[in-house]
Amino acid sequence: MIGNKKLSLLSAEIGQTPFYAYDRNLIKERVNYLRNNLPETISIHYAMKANPMPALVDYMTNYVDGLDVASHGELLVALNSGMPSPNISFAGPGKSLKELKAAIAAGILINAESTIEVQRIEQLGKELSITPRIALRINPDFELKASGMKMSGGPKPFGIDAEQVPQLIQSIAKMSLDLEGFHIFSGSQNLKAEAIIDAHNKTFELAFRLTQLANTEIKHLNIGGGLGIPYFPGDTPIELGAINKNLQSLCEQTQQQLGPIEIVMELGRFLVGEAGIYVAQISDIKISRGEKYLIVNGGMHHHLANSGNFGQVVRKNYPVLLGNKCSNNQETELVTIVGPLCTPLDILANKLELPKAEIGDYVVILQSGAYGKSVSPENFLGHPGVVERLV
């Protein structure tokens, strides 16, 4: 079941397996949970890179305050969603001239990632007779400890080194640009509240320091996201209580030091990751030298992250179940689930205890609402594609 639909009926409705299904009610509940557990003054933005499915983005605009995009393709989806242009931002290194021009023309906020990019934005703004809106993405001198993906501290392709920012701001003061603030994002997929709190403290302190050193005023501070979701055995959901309390204090300090600026928390996986499933069907069952394999009609070409080939150092199983069976009072067996691709990397689950399976059973990969279809090599080996459905 997802939403109120049985997998067999959903499969018939979609017309195939494999497919992704996303539960709109779970997405709504997650945003509301954040609203109730973060300071009221914080704006919530959805980072579309987590899942850019147009129908999902359209639905999300009913509940979040803004969208963040990372390409021209995502920008068009965001603009088509009806989200007001001032509430859309664009981050990512190496933006093309086409992307920068489109962003300026649309009136969205560009998170500039280098000095050269700042210069390009000004020149394109002059060509379009528009004063571009920019924020400086900062590469701070700290990282988000215990995060699944670190994006700050040390040499990084993301953002402008913090120590270079005061001089750059002085240059921007002489340019035809509207500098609105800073984007300080240090990492993602973190389940430790103390690590998030430490990063928030350092983020706000850096924002205070930069505004003082550069003698400038800002009206926008994007503190990134970083909140993770549990994927593997032993993972526990992150607790927001202490994070909320600390943010309340930091927001009050910001009000005193910088005035009534907008503080943005930009989240992707945390909003949609647990609302999605990936569903495939067993097409063959075989035993090889004592090990049982369930072979399904989908795999890493649809769900690269689940296969362990999207950043995992040691492969671990996502939560997996047989959608038409439960393990209570049923015979179980140890199985490895693989896809149809001609590569040993095509693993959906390795040595997992499941109810005894039959050909045609539904294999369901949970926690699949983020970084699924859009990050996967769907055309690898020319197998059929996957369908997405917002339920």
Asked whether the predicted pLDDT for residue 296 surpasses 90, the reply is yes
* Rounded-to-integer distance, Cα 107 and Cα 101, Å: 10
pLDDT (tens digit per residue) in 87-123: 999 999 999 999 999 999 999 999 999 999 999 999 9
pLDDT, position 151: 45
Return the H-helix or E-strand segment holding 388: strand 387-390
Where along the chain do its domains lie? 52-267, 274-390
Asked whether the predicted pLDDT for residue 188 surpasses 50, the reply is yes
Contact 215, 167 (CB under 8 A): no
Asked whether the predicted pLDDT for residue 150 surpasses 50, the reply is no
pLDDT (tens digit per residue) in 14-44: 999 999 999 999 999 999 999 999 999 999 9
Structure-model confidence comparison of residues 92 and 4, the more confident one? 92
Q: Phi, psi at residue 5, to the nearest 5°?
A: -110, 135
Decide whether 52-267 matches 274-390 in CATH topology. Answer: no
What pLDDT band is residue 189 in, cutting at 50, 70 and 90? confident
Alpha helices, DSSP H only, in 184-273?
193-214, 241-258, 269-272
Query: Averaged over 193-197, what is the pLDDT?
Result: 93
Rounded percentage of the chain residues whose pLDDT exceeds 90: 84
Contact 88, 79 (CB under 8 A): yes
pLDDT (tens digit per residue) in 262-278: 999 999 999 999 999 99
Q: Which two tokens stand for residue 233?
A: 């055995």
Asked whether the predicted pLDDT for residue 2 surpasses 90, the reply is no
pLDDT, position 349: 96
* Rounded-to-integer distance, Cα 370 and Cα 382, Å: 23
Asked whether the predicted pLDDT for residue 77 surpasses 70, the reply is yes
Rounded percentage of the chain residues whose pLDDT exceeds 70: 94
CATH label, 274-390, candidates 3.40.50.150, 3.20.20.70, 2.40.37.10, 3.40.50.1110: 2.40.37.10
Task: Answer whether CATH 3.20.20.10 is correct for domain 52-267.
Answer: yes
What pLDDT band is residue 329 in, cutting at 50, 70 and 90? low
Please choose, from the candidates 244, 239, 149, 246, the residue with its C-alpha nearest in 3D space to the C-alpha of residue 193.
239
The structure's pTM equals 0.93
* Rounded-to-integer distance, Cα 109 and Cα 266, Å: 14
pLDDT (tens digit per residue) in 201-249: 999 999 999 998 878 889 999 999 999 999 998 899 999 999 999 999 9
Query: Averaged over 3-8, what is the pLDDT?
Result: 84
pLDDT, position 146: 47
> Bridge partners of 259?
none
Mean pLDDT of all residues in the chain? 92
Q: Which two tokens stand for residue 112?
A: 């500039």
